[in-house]
């Protein structure tokens, strides 16, 4: 069973360590999902992959950072409508204006 999810993050980059954490979070997201905005990813993964991903994020961030994972109903990512800059659809069936 696949899980669809949206990940958004805000990592404090006031220090060099913060910039490293930002890159680490982005890299972990790129390993499991598709970037749709600078700090937004869409995921389609197995439940175990999501658990592993979330543990990796938890081990990476600090108190000033925030990562939110929204699990969405299956198939909802295929109903995305994007207005603005053209990019390839992140999920098959997405509509881009």
Summarised one tens digit per residue, pLDDT across range 26-69 is 999 999 999 999 999 999 999 999 999 999 999 999 999 999 99
Report d(CA 71, CA 86) in Å as an integer.
Answer: 25
Smallest Cα–Cα separation from 72: which of 8, 19, 17, 16? 8
Q: Report how many domains make up the chain.
A: 1
| pLDDT number for residue 49 | 96
Which residue range is the domain that position 79 belongs to?
3-96
First to last CA, the chain: 31
Tokens representing 90 are: 């992140």
For residue 59, give Cα distances in angstroms to 2, 62, 72, 92: 24, 8, 24, 32
**CATH number of the domain residue 29 falls in:** 3.30.70.240
- Residue 62 — φ and ψ, nearest 5°? -120, 180
Mean pLDDT (the chain, rounded): 89
| pLDDT number for residue 21 | 97
């Amino acid at each position: 069973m696949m899980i669809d999810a949206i990940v958004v993050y805000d990592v404090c980059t006031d220090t060099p360590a913060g910039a490293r954490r930002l890159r680490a979070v982005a890299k972990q997201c790129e390993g499991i999902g598709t970037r749709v905005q600078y700090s937004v990813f869409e995921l389609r993964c197995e439940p175990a992959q999501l658990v592993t991903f979330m543990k990796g994020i938890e081990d990476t961030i600090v108190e000033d950072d925030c990562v939110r994972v929204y699990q969405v109903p299956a198939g909802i990512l295929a109903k995305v409508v994007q207005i603005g800059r053209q990019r390839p659809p992140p999920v098959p069936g997405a509509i881009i204006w």
